[in-house]
Structure 1
Amino acid sequence: MRYLTLLTSYGGNEDETKVPFMYVPVETNDEPRFAWKNLYSTIFQQGNYISAENVREAVKNDGILRFSNNKHLTLGALRAAIKRMAEERGLKVIIFDEAYYFLRFSSLNVMDTVKSFAEQVDVKLIFIGSYELLKLAAQYAVQIRRTEVVPFFRYDTKKKKEMKEFITVIEKFTSNWPCEHIPNFPAVADELAVASMGGVGQLSAILANFLGLQLRSKGEIWTPEMFGKALKSETLDEEMREQILEGEAALRRKYAIKNHFRTTKGITAINEKLAS
């Protein structure tokens, strides 16, 4: 239902002739600079379009229109091709997952290119990743004005309401368990909450590890030992916990304080003027 609602709100339709959203995983590479050509090629592939190797840049010389060899293809030509694809598919949003790979390079240059790309192709860009993305979100004033940070904090398993939601997440994973013998994961929700630190990503990794062990076992029968094997070692677990807590603290310092007009006093004051 949420997907169909988003399609409708962005002008898409159910038969997928117009798909306003595109999911693109960002991949690392061994090059000294970020490989934009590789990323653009992935965008073409995800859009069921042509590969970057088949894009040709039109060059008019002495009244004759020629198409250049792709070895000399410019990033401008690639952006133009993506823009045409976006117009044909009604593309409005590109979601970049594992966006922290951008941080391996000069974040300032990367964000400048990203901003230029979004403007020229006329799409919104969503970055999904770790707390380290805060470094990309607040480089300078222009980016701050055009960037919206949406934090997804971990479930606070000390609160009954949030723990109830966490159990619902576990049940969603369990409902898609491919083995005939399904462990009663909701019954160990407290243990999973501690092990995953209330994070859905870590929960997914734990259950995926458990599933891998079960699939490789004889008859795909699970054993209680698999639970411990699916978890990180205590040393790595503690290191990851420290990184998460540090990231959450930084996120709250920058974005937890609301502006005046989102407070009760501010809302009352502006309402009196807007309604006058």
Structure 2
Amino acid sequence: MTKPHSSEHIRQISIAERLRYGRLTREQAMALSDNEKRRYFYSIQVRHRNLANVEKELSRYISGNTDTRILTLIGPPGAGKTSFAENILANRLKATELGQRPFIMVSTPAHGSNKVPWTGMYRKILKAGGEPLVDFKRVTDVADGTVKVRSNSIGSLSALRDSIESMLKNRMTLVLALDEILHMLRFGAHHDAIMDTFKSLADETSCQILLIGSYDLFDLAYSYGQVARRGEIFYLGRYGHNFTAASRPSAPANVEDLEEYTSIVLKLQARWPLEDVPQFTDIAEDLMKETLGIVGLLKEFLTQCLVLQIENKGKWNSAFVYQAMKKPYVIRKIRNEVESGEKKMREAGFFDTSFGSEFASKIGVKRFVA
């Protein structure tokens, strides 16, 4: 058996491990083995303004007192969308009774075929929900008070779909999160059919569907009329730019963004599990530019710096900065994707508001007196 690459190995961290690592003090983290130190640091999730804003906005829609069925979380690669769903939403939506699964999350499979991978995704949803005997699901019909099982429906798409609806109802699932939804977006001719399926599933089960992906997902959600009427799009963005209709992608970073980004660097720096702690805050502004203001890219850079320092017996070397940073052509590719996506959202009016402050200020308040 081949040994997994270190960067691949540290990514294979369960939610339980993240919670355990999150409770460790820096002194306890320093006592970990070298391999555990890598995993510990990678598992850290730092609270920051953009993350808190999205959590606050989403919280208004997952309270259960809303008609919004389709939720869409969009952001640049590395923005922390997956960890946000795994950590924050999973912790918020906890079971209060035996058998409950208020939050279920799966990564959409990619089968490499020219068909929408519904079967693979349905199976993953059932397994994530703890459903038994997934391969033996059948379609049942009720006629005259009698339940009949279709003998030729074992493992069929209809059987899996029926089982999902039943499971989501019985387990009182509030939110079903579908990550890496990009795997389904390549079937361009089926966009409406895909969204119709999600909407139907949400309506049948009273469960909200949370779609997670990058900018291509915006096209799917924005062009689908039901999302405009009964859905909501959330953006987990980056730091360093203003995204109003009049702003330019190359506009200089504002002071608030730089301060917030520096505080993120400081928080991660404070959790460094080695005696020699590189002062990354000294180059915070440069780091924000090089990582495009994306927290995930910053985290990946710092993790690689840690790995290099561990391999150097804990001694820091400034050359690690150049070795850990992604190659310029990779950064250019990510920048082009991000700026193109932001431009698309800006031109669609996503960052605008329908009412200006001059309208809101006209609303008076009158106290009711019985």
The verdict on a shared fold, with TM-score over 0.5 as the criterion, is: yes
Q: Give yes or no for contact 1:12–1:90 (8 Å, CA) kept in 2.
A: no
Q: 1:170 aligns to what?
A: 265
Matched, 1:152 2:247: no
Q: Which of 110, 118, 133 does residue 202 from structure 2 map onto?
A: 118
What CA distance in whole angstroms lies between the structure 2 residues aligned with 1:22 and 1:185? 37
| Correspondence 1:131-210 to 2 at 5 A | 131-156=215-240, 158-177=253-272, 181-210=276-305
Please state how far the C-alpha of 1:224 moved relative to its aligned partner. 2.3
The AA in structure 2 aligned to 1:36 is: W
- Which has the larger helix fraction? 1
- The 8 Å contact of residues 140 and 147 in structure 2, kept in 1 or not, is answered as no
User: TM-score of the superposition, structure 2-length normalised?
Assistant: 0.61
> What one-letter code is carried by the residue in structure 1 that aligns with 2:298?
L
The change in CA–CA distance for 1:219 and 1:135 in structure 2 (over 3 A counts) is same
CA distance in 2, matches of 1:21, 1:64: 30
Give the Å deviation of 1:214: 4.1
Indicate the SS of the match to 1:148.
strand
Q: Which amino acid is the alignment partner of residue 45 of structure 1? A: K
Under a length normalisation based on structure 1, what TM-score does the superposition of the two structures give?
0.79
Q: How does 1:1-276 map to 2 (within 5 A)?
A: 9=63, 13=94, 17=98, 18-50=100-132, 52-58=134-140, 65-66=148-149, 68=151, 72-106=154-188, 107-156=191-240, 158-177=253-272, 181-215=276-310, 217-254=311-348, 255-259=350-354, 262-268=355-361, 271=363
Q: Is the 1:181–1:222 Cα contact (8 Å) retained in structure 2? A: yes
Does the 8 A contact of 1:37 with 1:52 survive in 2?
no
**Do 1:49 and 1:85's aligned partners in 2 also have CA atoms closer than 8 Å?**
yes
Q: Distance in 1 between matches of 2:118 and 2:165?
A: 15
Between the aligned partners of 1:22 and 1:154, the Cα distance in structure 2 is 27
Matched position secondary structure for 1:192: helix
Gaps of 5+ in 1: none
Identical columns (%): 25
Q: What RMSD over aligned residues (CA atoms) do the two structures have, in Å?
A: 3.6
Contact conserved, 2:345 with 2:351, CA < 8 A, in 1? Answer: yes
Give 2:171's aligned amino acid.
R
Kept after mapping to 1: 8 A contact 2:139/2:150: yes
Letter in 2 for 1:195: E
Distance 1:82 1:178 in 2: 43
CA distance in 2, matches of 1:230, 1:16: 46
Q: CA 1:35–1:258 in 2, change beyond 3 Å: closer, same or farther?
A: same
Structure 1: distance between partners of 2:288 and 2:219 = 29
| Partner SS for 1:149 | strand
> Following the alignment from structure 1 to structure 2, what is the Cα–Cα distance between the partners of residues 240 and 256?
21
Alpha carbons of structure 1 residues 143 and 205: separation in structure 2 relative to 1, 3 Å:
same
Q: For 1:23 and 1:156, how far apart are their aligned partners in 2?
A: 31
Partners in 1 of 2:180 and 2:231 — Cα distance? Answer: 18
Q: Distance in 2 between matches of 1:80 and 1:243?
A: 38
Residue-pair matches, total:
269
For each residue in 1:184-216, what CA deviation from the matched residue of structure 2 results, as whole angstroms up to 9, or x when unmatched? 33333222211111112222332333344445x
State the Cα distance separating 1:103 from its structure 2 match.
1.4
Q: Could you say what secondary structure the match of 2:334 adopts?
A: helix
